[in-house]
Chains A and B, each alone.
Chain A
């Protein structure tokens, strides 16, 4: 890739304005050229994105360890191992499952919230506070509070169920339930972001569309279906893209609430990358898993962009 070298190419850049004098000292010429504007960004881009990206790619072909030992080229061995690693597939499956069960409510509930708040009912400040505030909480708070709520014994939720005579649920200890619990926490935590995006989109729908419909005698439900939802289609596409990518990268709340348990039922792909690399010391293998993951992310992004483009067309 060319990004690191372009910073050296400043003297070949055409001068868009005539202010630079060809014989001026390099530094002075640089100061006025477009490259001087790009330099800081290209430096951090090169050093902290491009370099680790390339370095990680190289690592994925070696057996480098956390303590720097190893480092020998092993070809595609790491990739072959990853493709035959049941733990990797389990993590991939968990990630996909989480992505589905979190994305759907994160979009639908956000939409419902936005529609309700947008209706102009009194208490706007309170609704926005209630729905968006959790998004601003650090994950430490979110995880601690929800672990407390989920506690099998003295957690608020099971106590509430018990109050009505129900059987307590092993929210974080039952392999079939734990990922749903993580998703529930995630919805509570981050739905406010999507809610705001929808709210902003709703507020930019011109009033006259509704007024015209009202004159035509369309009821509230008809207006929602024929005006509001179609107008929100673009936003929905973007929200879905953002949400999908965010859900695929899930790490924080899982690490803090279950550490991937019980029985690896909540171990996400990113958690597996961390475990293999830092807890298991295998930088090379961890990098290979990262790259498989990156490939998935890129494919999904491209497919989504294609779909979005087609829909717009």
Chain B
């Protein structure tokens, strides 16, 4: 499949969400029923499913794998709490396909009432009028307001004084390791946690030992054909050097080529193709780690639910600090309201209620590994009692946030361009060439104008 999936082998057949499309349900009997339906389908077929009730909320997300399973549970909880909301969830392929579809749906006029968007993408959507702002008064009715979020995060969700996104979580890049392998490689502290690394060389050395201990691959990093992983790892390490990156519209781009070279050189040394493979894709990296063929995995915390089941001796830790200061790439899933050409107040209200309920239910979401954005949940005793999540909670304190730019963000072409820079460093012409490519790509991006911003 196209999409960078989150999952190698999730467990299908678990309880399905109950909020299925009404037409879907009609067809559940199999195609035998389709004949009888044909007439009705043809008559009603020239428009979107016009639900009889006004409180239908079509909800798009890009969660699958462990995330998807938890999302289904949250939806089931909401269905119990608010039976008057008819939620029709759809999961689309992660990344560019999702965001392309979301924008096209907004333009097409029949967008879903609500959807998930990475906060890093907001700068590309809000100015172009592809989103409708939230009605904060309405949201307050359902018990959610600015006071419930960290001010910094809340601030990132607005544009031109309007509020376009309600954050659900923060999700940092972390590492997973196999405690058995890490132990054999001598990388565990006396408490059984992954030890700190003193220098890039120290980590390279550790990756060799991990390769020996696992008998196959040292560190797994699935970046090939992936539209995000390369950038996430690069930007984490780049931020660790303390160097800045700014991408102002119109340019010039600000970045530190020496810092970038240090990062690429380190990556090329670790992923030398001998001790740690330099050509894994996301799925293969995940599958290799989960089956014990790799000792350590660079990945997002969203794989926690899957790996917890698949790897008996799973260890999790913040992304290791290899340069001067701790930092790890982080983004936020948030709810947005795609633009409706003909908004139905009833549905808008329902969408607000749905979003508020979901944010308040984010304790369940935290089980996916994400750090909830809704502070009352974070402060709850129940959250503090959650297992391995606390092992990497520190990551959230040092988030490396993507430079705000209309072209940047999760699953953007910008990120996949950056991924291809990383591929150059690891599989192509090498670190120096990668720095040149990075330079060219950044200048190229800042030189472009945002096509959706009203110019005339």
Contact = CB atoms under 8 A, between A and B. Distances in A.
- Are A and B in contact, CB atoms below 8 Å, in the complex? yes
A256 B456 contact: no
B227 to A, nearest CB: 8
A144 B93 CA distance: 14
A154 interface: yes
Nearest to A262: B225
A258 B4 CA distance: 11
A282 B107 CA distance: 13
Contact of B452 (A69, A151, A175, A279): A69
Nearest to A264: B420
A147 B1 contact: yes
A90 to B, nearest CB: 11
Which of A68, A174, A255, A259 is most buried by chain B, counting CB atoms within 10 A of its CB?
Answer: A259
A46 B454 CA distance: 31
A173 B99 contact: no
B363 to A, nearest CB: 35
A170 interface: yes
A172 B225 contact: yes
Nearest to A283: B451
Interface in B131-183: none
A162 interface: no
Contacts of A151: 283-284
B452 A152 contact: no
A2 interface: no
A81 to B, nearest CB: 10
A97 interface: no
A153 B285 CA distance: 9
Interface string B277-292: 0011101100110000
B130 interface: yes
A263 B424 contact: yes
Interface in A235-268: 255-259, 261-264
B310 interface: no
Given A144-B1, A255-B2, A262-B423, A67 B103 contact: yes
Given A67-B129, A263-B428, A173 B453 contact: no
A173 to B, nearest CB: 4
B287 A154 contact: yes
Interface string A49-77: 00000000000000101111111100000
A66 B281 CA distance: 32
A4 interface: no
B100 interface: yes
The size bracket of the interface on B is: 35 or more
B452 A65 contact: yes
Contact of A66 (B420, B424, B452): B452
A280 interface: yes
A243 to B, nearest CB: 26
B241 interface: no
Interface string B418-448: 0010011001100000000000000000000
A257 B2 contact: yes
B105 to A, nearest CB: 11
A292 B130 CA distance: 30
B128 interface: yes
A275 B413 contact: yes
Nearest to B412: A279
Interface in A148-166: 151-154
Contacts of B423: 262-263
A310 to B, nearest CB: 44
Contact of B100 (A67, A68, A144, A279): A279
Contacts of A147: 1
A280 B428 CA distance: 26
A210 interface: no
B281 A259 contact: no
A71 B452 CA distance: 11
Nearest to B451: A65
B259 to A, nearest CB: 23
Contacts of B224: 170, 173, 261-262
A144 B3 CA distance: 12
A288 B413 CA distance: 20
A45 interface: no
A259 B106 CA distance: 23
A67 B106 contact: yes
A281 interface: yes
A152 B455 contact: no
A80 to B, nearest CB: 15
B35 to A, nearest CB: 22
27 contacts: A63-B451, A65-B128, A65-B451, A66-B104, A67-B106, A67-B128, A67-B129, A69-B129, A70-B454, A72-B456, A151-B283, A170-B224, A174-B279, A175-B427, A257-B2, A259-B97, A259-B225, A262-B224, A262-B423, A263-B428, A275-B413, A278-B104, A279-B96, A279-B100, A280-B413, A281-B128, A281-B451
Given A175-B428, A259-B227, 15 more contacts: A65-B451, A66-B103, A67-B103, A69-B129, A70-B455, A71-B456, A72-B455, A151-B284, A152-B281, A259-B96, A263-B420, A275-B413, A279-B413, A280-B413, A281-B128
Top 4 nearest A-B pairs (CB, nearest first) are A65-B451, A261-B225, A173-B224, A281-B451
Interface of A: 63, 65-72, 143-144, 147, 151-154, 170, 172-175, 255-259, 261-264, 275, 278-282
